Structure 1
Amino acid sequence: MQTDTSSVTGRHGTTIVYDVHRPAGDPVGVVVISHGIGEHGGRYRHVARALADLDYLVVVPDHAGHGRSGGKRMRVDDFSDFIADLDTVIEAVGSVAVPRFLIGHSMGGAIALRYALDHADRLDGLVLSGAALVPGKGLPPVLVKLAPFLGRVVPWMPSTTLPSEAVSRDADVVADYQTDPLVWHGRIGAGLGGQVIGAMADFPKELPSLTMPTLVLHGGADVLADPDGSVMVGDLAGAEDVTVTIYPGLFHEIFNEPERDAVIGEVTDWLVAHTADRGSEPGRLGVESGAVETGE
């Protein structure tokens, strides 16, 4: 797997850095990965490798305010900024003659779902992992109602922190998460939290318009993103081809749990099957890229 790093100018002039993981042969499909809140795309390298081994080209951006991308840390003017930046990255991939899929985890799952609802013509399938699609059960209803307002009025106000122990049952994963300098370890501001909760409010009424093939995966013991959101997709999505798997006992980052091989295997099996269903035309991808970081 060869990895190139590039950047684009996102909304508000923010620099969005993204990696392109290239397979050894001609790509059979393109997979874009949208990471979760407070983390960065580099934490999905093992997922990208599994996909590249199956000849997928994998594109992984760091969201604005995250990782290597520009912008104030953990701040966003509007949730739609994430969708616009993601679209700019996807546009930078160039003209493709193979199927294109989007994977979104946690907050990145909410971004991915919003993107799929807004740009259905640009995707052939959607995969959601531990997606944050409904407010957590522990949040008081009054706070959920006020969150978008508070986010606009006092976006700088510290809100909550993410307990690293809830990320995975794998102690090594938790240790790496805690020491990763590109992971945000402070409090999440009211602005970002309010934008995410505000975006959640639209999903129930808009899910019937989601008609593309969709795979939804969630850890049953996830306390950071409520599994009810994934069940909601299965119940309300308009697509005939929707698969929902809740893994009993797994924590939030199902791609980093001890059972990661089985989870990633379900994703790759689904992608391969839907790539075959979609079909592809011969041709190479014109992917813009920068300097090569690594070659494996």
Structure 2
Amino acid sequence: MLHEVSFASYNGRDQVQGWIYVPACKPKGIVQVIHGFGEHSRRYLHMISAFMDAGYIVAADDHVGHGKTAMVNNVWGDWGDKGPHTMMEDEHTLKGIVCEKYPDLPYFLFGHSMGSFITRDFIAKYGDELAGATICGTTGIFRGAEETGKKLKEAIDAGHGEESDPSYTGELMGWMCERCGEVSIGNEWICADPYVQRDHADDPFDAFTRPTSNRSVYDFIQMMLQIEGTKWAEKVPTDLPIYNIAGDQDPVGEYGVGVYQVSNWLVQTRHNVTTKLYSGYRHEIHNYAEIKNEVEAGIIAFMDKAL
């Protein structure tokens, strides 16, 4: 069964488009899939199907400025003016809609990349509503984020928030192909498979190739800064199981260093966290043909254990 849902965004402007995928069996739990920067939730259909086959209802939406939400509202690459918690609050709204339809089931989050930042923000505020959370392709201290953020704040204060200056995105993320060899598209850091790269770049629902407003890039940086250190980790319930996974050639996680930073912040604040790095793989470990089944099986095993 498939439910298509639409709800008002926290930004007060957009209608967020979402989906609830229900397996044809008695469900044992719910997992909400939270996609990353510049993409959309249908890029996770293989994972969604795996979760359903394992007996989980799956919820997902397209963030403001992304995917079908951007198409319906005719706003690409701008997330509104309500700040860096916007997408997190939208995910909480979706959770409420799902739980109204399917109450009293254990609820999990899976967030990839920016979706992992959203997940980490979510568990700091609403973690006591969850049975567990998987963060995939997350960041520790993201290289150059604070410095670029200061420049963007100056541009926004000067009245250029709704404009899009690609030099800021270049400064923030332009280094991420440094280990990728020959670069032709600019997204090679996501996966070594050229077919995944091309699919990502040519997808009409992707916002990756579209300009992002200065204000939204600034909010993206604030997402990362607000989930740094033990100050963030202390807000997360200590009894919430967390599964932290990534590729060790993922620049977002500084090739494993940032991934372990996050796990260490959680360990230092007495949390239950399991960490797994996939050796030799870049950002989208769930899109490598040779390991995606293993990645999904690991997430399912984590959730099953939490049950």
Counterpart check, 1:74 vs 2:77? yes
SS at match of 1:246: strand
Q: Answer whether contact 1:130 1:225 (CA < 8 A) is retained.
A: yes
| 2:273 aligned to which of 233, 239, 242 | 242
Write the letter of the residue equivalent to 1:81.
Answer: T
Structure 1-normalised TM-score? 0.85
Query: Could you say which residue in structure 2 is the equivalent of 1:283?
Result: none
Structure-2 change in CA distance of 1:151 and 1:3 (3 Å): farther
Query: Could you say which residue in structure 2 is the equivalent of 1:27?
Result: 27
Q: Which whole-Å CA distance do the structure 2 matches of 1:51 and 1:142 have between them?
A: 39
Query: Could you say which residue in structure 2 is the equivalent of 1:269?
Result: 301
Q: Which whole-Å CA distance do the structure 1 matches of 2:153 and 2:76 have between them?
A: 19
Q: Which whole-Å CA distance do the structure 1 matches of 2:197 and 2:31 have between them?
A: 26
Query: Could you say which residue in structure 2 is the equivalent of 1:279?
Result: none
1:186-234 alpha-carbon deviations (Å, 9 max, x no partner): 3433222211212322321211332211000111111245343321221
Query: Could you say which residue in structure 1 is the equivalent of 2:178?
Result: none
Q: Answer whether contact 1:222 1:252 (CA < 8 A) is retained.
A: yes
Query: Could you say which residue in structure 2 is the equivalent of 1:251?
Result: 282
CA RMSD, 1 decimal? 2.0
Q: Answer whether contact 1:151 1:193 (CA < 8 A) is retained.
A: no
Q: Which whole-Å CA distance do the structure 2 matches of 1:118 and 1:110 have between them?
A: 13
Q: Which has the higher helix share?
A: 2
Q: Which moved more, 1:31-40 or 1:139-148?
A: 139-148
Q: How many residues align?
A: 272
Query: Could you say which residue in structure 2 is the equivalent of 1:284?
Result: none
Q: Which whole-Å CA distance do the structure 1 matches of 2:160 and 2:188 have between them?
A: 29
**Identity between Structure 1 and Structure 2 (%):** 24
Q: Answer whether contact 1:106 1:225 (CA < 8 A) is retained.
A: no
Q: Which whole-Å CA distance do the structure 1 matches of 2:146 and 2:106 have between them?
A: 41
Query: Could you say which residue in structure 1 is the equivalent of 2:182?
Result: none
Query: Could you say which residue in structure 1 is the equivalent of 2:177?
Result: none
Q: Which whole-Å CA distance do the structure 2 matches of 1:140 and 1:112 have between them?
A: 19
Q: Which whole-Å CA distance do the structure 2 matches of 1:142 and 1:256 have between them?
A: 32
The higher-RCO structure (CA 8 Å, 6+ apart) is 1
Structure-2 change in CA distance of 1:24 and 1:188 (3 Å): same
Q: Answer whether contact 1:165 1:174 (CA < 8 A) is retained.
A: yes
Q: Answer whether contact 1:10 1:85 (CA < 8 A) is retained.
A: yes
Query: Could you say which residue in structure 2 is the equivalent of 1:3?
Result: 2
5+ long unaligned stretches in structure 2: 174-185
1:139-191 alpha-carbon deviations (Å, 9 max, x no partner): 38632443445456533232326722221122222221122100111343322
Structure 2-normalised TM-score? 0.82
Write the letter of the residue equivalent to 1:48.
Answer: I
Q: Answer whether contact 1:168 1:252 (CA < 8 A) is retained.
A: yes
Q: Which whole-Å CA distance do the structure 2 matches of 1:7 and 1:181 have between them?
A: 20
Structure-2 change in CA distance of 1:67 and 1:99 (3 Å): same
Query: Could you say which residue in structure 2 is the equivalent of 1:285?
Result: none
Structure-2 change in CA distance of 1:13 and 1:145 (3 Å): closer
Query: Could you say which residue in structure 2 is the equivalent of 1:143?
Result: 148
SS at match of 1:61: strand
Query: Could you say which residue in structure 2 is the equivalent of 1:97?
Result: 104
Query: Could you say which residue in structure 1 is the equivalent of 2:188?
Result: 165
Query: Could you say which residue in structure 2 is the equivalent of 1:232?
Result: 261
5+ long unaligned stretches in structure 1: 276-296
Structure-2 change in CA distance of 1:148 and 1:53 (3 Å): farther
Q: Which whole-Å CA distance do the structure 2 matches of 1:108 and 1:232 have between them?
A: 18
